[in-house]
DNA sequence: TACGATCAGGAAATCGGATTCCTAGTTTCC
DNA sequence: GGAAACTAGGAATCCGATTTCCTGATCGTA
């Protein structure tokens, strides 16, 4: 399209009958100019569709008004909302977002970091796929880590408060009178699986309760959720129908996917959720938590807000007020029919 | 953090004992320099960690080496893979990707377009949430539309070949001996629902067959998938168990979500998939198609490749070789147990 | 009336590289 | 041995906007 049509400041100046510097002052509300002059310049700029060249502006401002969004993975289910939340918050600050996905490849990541440095981004937000701490990146501008914290405690990180999330679930379940609670995690070596169990155990202990049986670990699939239910029920007397002596009255799953599988299997075995067994998930991933039968009580980590918060911290750092350490963002308990019946 | 640590070309020049222009030539392999000089400069640049300022480079090159990824929605299930595919392909071309999500807000979109123009991006890739044609954007640089084509046929667009996708499904089903095929769509007013039915009908007609009953439209939820199954079975003799006279021997769903719901309901009604009724989905969205019981035969639109292709077209356009019109990208048939049993 | 203060706006320097143009040396060749 | 042809590298210009000076005009006040 009209390639040559790029309007420069001199074009506006010519049309308005002033000098380029006057145009700059008029459009940026600086310097001292008669209001009539400003208006005339504005009108000329408007008429020509003048949009100042960001490269030139960056060059003299020594700022790019751009931040990098560096995602360790390919912006999957967890890092994507974070990225979107951040992008959203950045727009408000007149900043643009450069997307860089490393796809778990250190070489790619290095390449991206270099590119971001070359672009003199004002700052970088680093996100990951898991909550595992990660090696910090070395760059000459502020960095905020989101979801996956930096392993260097001096860096600024924002992570979901998993412990609080689990506490909310326990409060909810115990408040409903559930006492025999079992736990089903995902992959055993991942922090999300482990931390959630530890908090669960601690919270139960604080109420003179204990989890039923050992925590069960597998993977993050619905299939494992189903199998885990089988294992739990096999552990109690009368594996099938309730004779009033089910081994559990609630199962806490470490993800919505697991919970959904669990609900399916409970139903298939003739048990009612939540009447016989209450079920909770984690993540509030709508296609799982809402499509589950019944819909899941779960914890929303508020990942978009997490990204937004990371952006706020980054903007503050850019403006000379850097944060340090890990900030934990409170999640939100979402109560649905898997614990409350039709309530 | 070492904020002041930005190394300029003059620093490298000083260390190497040459002039800035020589440094530029040495690092860009231009001009005529002794190899020993180039090496000396390279070493100096290396030692100082010199990364040329992209703004300055853009300014004189009159190119930003950046492209905009403008997503109409907030990078959801469909536009996200497209965006990722594009970003991935751009990296290869030494281009950076500016992410801009409009979230269905025309004001936001306009804002983003302005920002992209200000940054003098070399080109823009526009993606949408649906395959509905959209109003083109007016900018002075090349644009490629992905997933949602431009309503102006002179623009370059890349879309999934939905007709072909449905043809592959019909070929597959008919090849398996299925003859009584019903169709369940999503929202009635959306192109995806309609086009898929039309192609289905046309392909069946070409084989002297016809769809069973009218196409059913609802929304895109699993719940609707379940209900649609009820409607279909109610239409035939003996709504429940098979007496050998089920009204259908296959159901084509317009999405994996619908199909998954359909499978669940068929199973709940005691019917076997695929023995009694074969089921197909659309999208190959893993959390649906793989988690379904049985896993779904479906169509993979190859959205990442779509984004990649859009990036290729854009790069070509930037290099002066623009494409015109709509390019349809062939999807891939993914055969799983919902049509083939354990095969 | 005159002189300092204020104001409007322009000229020029600046940001950091890329590129064009030049100028000393060095070769080459007759 | 001298002119033409290269070479290597430096000086200067440019990209487009911002910003700092600076100047001429207007204003206020003694």
8 Å CB contact of B54 and A88: no
In the predicted structure, residue B243 carries a pLDDT above the cut 80: no
Q: What is the pLDDT of residue A236?
A: 53
Query: B296 and B214, same structural domain?
Result: yes
Query: B255 and B194, same structural domain?
Result: yes
Is the CB of B14 less than 7 A from some atom of nucleic acid strand C?
Answer: no
Give the sign of the dihedral formed by CA B109, CA B114, CA B116, CA B121.
Answer: positive
Determine the straight-line distance between the first and last CA of chain A, rounded to whole angstroms.
58
Is the CB of B54 less than 7 A from some atom of nucleic acid strand C?
Answer: no
Q: What is the pLDDT of residue A2?
A: 43
Chain B residue at shortest CA distance from A98: B98
Chain B residue at shortest CA distance from A5: B140
Q: What is the pLDDT of residue B241?
A: 44
Query: B254 and B169, same structural domain?
Result: yes
Q: What is the pLDDT of residue A77?
A: 81
CB B97 within 8 A of CB B65: no
Query: A227 and A306, same structural domain?
Result: no
Q: What is the pLDDT of residue B120?
A: 95
* Nucleotide showing the shortest C1' distance to residue B19 CA: D10
* Secondary structure of residue A27 in the 3-state scheme: helix
Is B1 domain-assigned?
no
| Mean pLDDT, residues A331-335 | 97
Is B90 domain-assigned?
yes
* Nucleotide showing the shortest C1' distance to residue B8 CA: C16
Query: B147 and B179, same structural domain?
Result: no
Q: Give the domain CATH number at A274.
A: 3.40.50.2300
In the predicted structure, residue B238 carries a pLDDT above the cut 70: no
Q: Which of residues 132-151 of A touch B (CB under 8 A)?
A: 140-142
Q: What is the pLDDT of residue B76?
A: 75
Query: B145 and B211, same structural domain?
Result: no
| Mean pLDDT, residues A226-252 | 77
Query: B173 and B84, same structural domain?
Result: no
Is A3 domain-assigned?
no
Cα–Cα distances in Å, from A248 out to A70, A231, A234, A245, A343?
43, 12, 11, 8, 22
8 Å CB contact of B99 and A91: no
| pLDDT confidence band for B242 (50 / 70 / 90) | very low
Q: What is the pLDDT of residues B268-296, one digit of tens each?
A: 999 999 999 999 999 999 999 999 999 99
Residue range(s) defining the domain that contains residue B306? 66-159+302-330
Indicate the average pLDDT of chain B: 92
| Mean pLDDT, residues B104-130 | 94
Is B315 domain-assigned?
yes
| Mean pLDDT, residues A213-233 | 96
In the predicted structure, residue B249 carries a pLDDT above the cut 90: yes
Indicate the average pLDDT of chain A: 92
Q: What is the pLDDT of residue B318?
A: 95
Is B249 domain-assigned?
yes
Domain count, chain A: 3
* Secondary structure of residue A10 in the 3-state scheme: helix
Q: What is the pLDDT of residues A146-179, one digit of tens each?
A: 999 999 999 999 999 999 999 999 999 999 999 9
Beta strands in A136-210 (DSSP E): 143-146, 156-160, 181-184
Q: What is the pLDDT of residues A73-119, one digit of tens each?
A: 876 788 889 999 999 999 888 899 999 999 999 999 999 999 999 99
Is A4 domain-assigned?
no
Q: What is the pLDDT of residues A16-71, one digit of tens each?
A: 999 999 999 999 999 899 999 999 999 999 999 999 999 999 999 999 999 999 99
Q: What is the pLDDT of residue A235?
A: 60
CA-to-CA distance for A123 and A314, rounded, in angstroms?
7
Is B2 domain-assigned?
no
Minimum-distance residue to C6 (CA–C1'): A32
Q: Worst-scoring range by mean pLDDT, A196-210, A293-307, B68-82, B138-152?
A: B68-82
Is the CB of A42 less than 7 A from some atom of nucleic acid strand D?
Answer: no
Q: Give the domain CATH number at A13.
A: 1.10.260.40
| pLDDT confidence band for B255 (50 / 70 / 90) | very high
Q: What is the pLDDT of residues B190-227, one digit of tens each?
A: 988 999 999 999 999 999 999 999 999 999 999 999 99
Prediction pTM value: 0.92
> Is A51 in CB contact (< 8 Å) with chain B?
yes
CB B229 within 8 A of CB B269: yes
Q: What is the pLDDT of residue A238?
A: 44
Q: What is the pLDDT of residue B129?
A: 87
Q: What is the pLDDT of residue B75?
A: 64
| Mean pLDDT, residues A175-195 | 94
> Is B61 in CB contact (< 8 Å) with chain A?
no
Is the CB of A52 less than 7 A from some atom of nucleic acid strand D?
Answer: yes
Contacts 24+ apart (CB under 8 A), B322-327: B322/B142, B322/B156, B323/B144, B323/B156, B324/B153, B324/B154, B324/B155, B324/B156, B325/B153, B325/B154, B325/B156, B325/B157, B326/B149, B326/B153, B326/B157, B326/B158, B326/B159, B327/B156, B327/B157, B327/B158, B327/B159
Q: What is the pLDDT of residue A30?
A: 93
Query: A250 and A134, same structural domain?
Result: no
Q: Pick the last residue of a domain from B20, B46, B61.
A: B61
Is the CB of B21 less than 7 A from some atom of nucleic acid strand D?
Answer: yes
Best residue of B46, B119, B142, B155 to probe chain A, by most A CBs closer than 10 Å:
B119
Query: B313 and B297, same structural domain?
Result: no
Query: B257 and B132, same structural domain?
Result: no
Query: A310 and A261, same structural domain?
Result: no
Q: Worst-scoring range by mean pLDDT, A125-134, B70-79, B93-102, B113-122?
A: B70-79
Is A183 domain-assigned?
yes
Query: B213 and B318, same structural domain?
Result: no
Q: What is the pLDDT of residue A75?
A: 64
| pLDDT confidence band for B342 (50 / 70 / 90) | low
Q: What is the pLDDT of residue B339?
A: 97
Query: Is the pLDDT higher at A174 or at A242?
Result: A174
Q: What is the pLDDT of residues B6-48, one digit of tens each?
A: 899 999 999 999 999 999 999 999 989 999 999 999 999 999 9
């Amino acid at each position: 399209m009209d390639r040559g049509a790029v309007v420069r400041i001199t074009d506006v100046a010519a049309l308005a009958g002033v000098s380029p510097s006057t145009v700059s002052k008029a459009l940026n509300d600086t310097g001292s100019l008669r209001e009539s002059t400003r208006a005339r310049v504005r009108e000329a700029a408007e008429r020509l569709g003048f949009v100042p060249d960001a490269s030139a502006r960056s060059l003299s401002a020594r700022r790019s008004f751009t931040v990098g969004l560096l995602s360790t993975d390919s912006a999957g289910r967890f890092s994507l909302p974070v990225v979107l939340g951040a992008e959203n918050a950045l727009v408000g600050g007149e900043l643009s977002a450069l997307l860089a996905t490393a796809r778990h490849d250190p070489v790619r990541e290095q390449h991206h970091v270099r590119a971001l440095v070359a672009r003199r981004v004002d700052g970088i937000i680093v996100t990951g796929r898991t909550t595992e701490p990660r090696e910090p990146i070395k760059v000459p501008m502020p960095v905020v880590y989101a979801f996956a914290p930096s392993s260097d405690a001096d860096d600024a990180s924002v992570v979901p408060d998993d412990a609080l999330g689990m506490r909310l679930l326990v409060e909810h379940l115990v408040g409903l009178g559930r006492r025999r609670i079992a736990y089903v995690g995902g992959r055993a070596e991942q922090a999300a699986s482990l931390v959630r169990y530890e908090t669960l155990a601690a919270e139960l202990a604080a109420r003179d309760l204990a989890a039923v049986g050992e925590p069960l670990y597998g993977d993050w699939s619905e299939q494992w959720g189903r199998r885990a239910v089988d294992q739990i029920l096999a552990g109690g007397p009368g594996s099938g129908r309730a004779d009033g002596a089910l081994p559990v009255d609630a199962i806490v799953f470490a993800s919505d996917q697991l919970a959904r599988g669990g609900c399916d299997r409970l139903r298939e075995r003739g048990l009612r959720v939540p009447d016989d067994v209450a079920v909770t998930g984690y993540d509030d991933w709508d296609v799982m938590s809402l499509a589950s039968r019944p819909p899941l009580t779960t914890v929303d980590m508020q990942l978009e807000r997490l990204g937004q918060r990371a952006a706020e911290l980054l903007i503050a750092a850019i403006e000379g007020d850097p944060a340090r350490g890990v900030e934990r963002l409170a999640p939100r308990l979402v109560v649905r029919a898997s614990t409350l019946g039709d309530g």
